Amino acid sequence: MIETKRLRIYPATRNQMEIFINAQTNDVLKTAYTEMLENCLKFPDKWEWYVAWFIELNNGTHIGELCFKGLNSNGVAEIGYGILEEYRRQGYATEAVKAVTAWAFQNPNVTAVEAETDMDNIASRRVLEKCNFIAKGKIGKEGPRFTLNRC
């Protein structure tokens, strides 16, 4: 578990993932979380790199999720994140992304953390900028790719 001033961030267990998947009403998200769990089960020694991480306030209120999309052979981990609408614009995404990137860089094999965001998602782009990610000019499936390299 990662704890910050206001948040607790932790990787879900298999049971938590199954409950979370079954609760999804959005088919795209349900498919994505199902694929994440399948990768967790396929690579149990890399669980944290494939599973959903839950973001909670220190009082236990669930406010969002984030995930890594694996760790490639070059040591690059892609991150995705989302905060429930009623908790946006309060700095929680920035706080969570900073905390998990610091956690990722504790692994000596991690060379960089990357993220993609839709061109029109100004709030997500701002989160990445506040966390010192730099746009590299590459466009991925979800939009421009931002990178934070190990110092």
What pLDDT digit, counting tens, does each position of 58-80 carry?
999 999 999 998 888 899 999 99
Per-residue confidence (pLDDT) for residue 144, from 0 to 100 = 79
Q: What is the pTM of this model?
A: 0.89
Structure tokens at 5: 């001033």
Instruction: Determine the Cα–Cα distance for residues 52 and 33; give it in Å rounded to an integer.
Output: 7
Structure tokens at 117: 């965001």
Query: Which residue numbers in the chain have pLDDT < 50?
Result: none
Per-residue confidence (pLDDT) for residue 6, from 0 to 100 = 97
SS3 29: helix
Closest residue by Cα to residue 79 from 41, 124, 14: 124
Instruction: Determine the Cα–Cα distance for residues 5 and 70; give it in Å rounded to an integer.
Output: 27
pLDDT tens across 27-45, in order? 988 998 999 999 999 999 9
Contact 145, 138 (CB under 8 A): yes
Q: Which residues contact 142 (CB under 8 A, 6 or more apart)?
A: 116, 117, 118
Q: pLDDT above 90 covers what percent of the chain?
A: 78
- What's the CATH superfamily of 2-108? Gcn5-related N-acetyltransferase (GNAT) (3.40.630.30)
For 76, the enclosing helix (H) or strand (E) is strand 76-83
Question: Beta strand pairing status for 112-116 and 76-83?
Answer: parallel
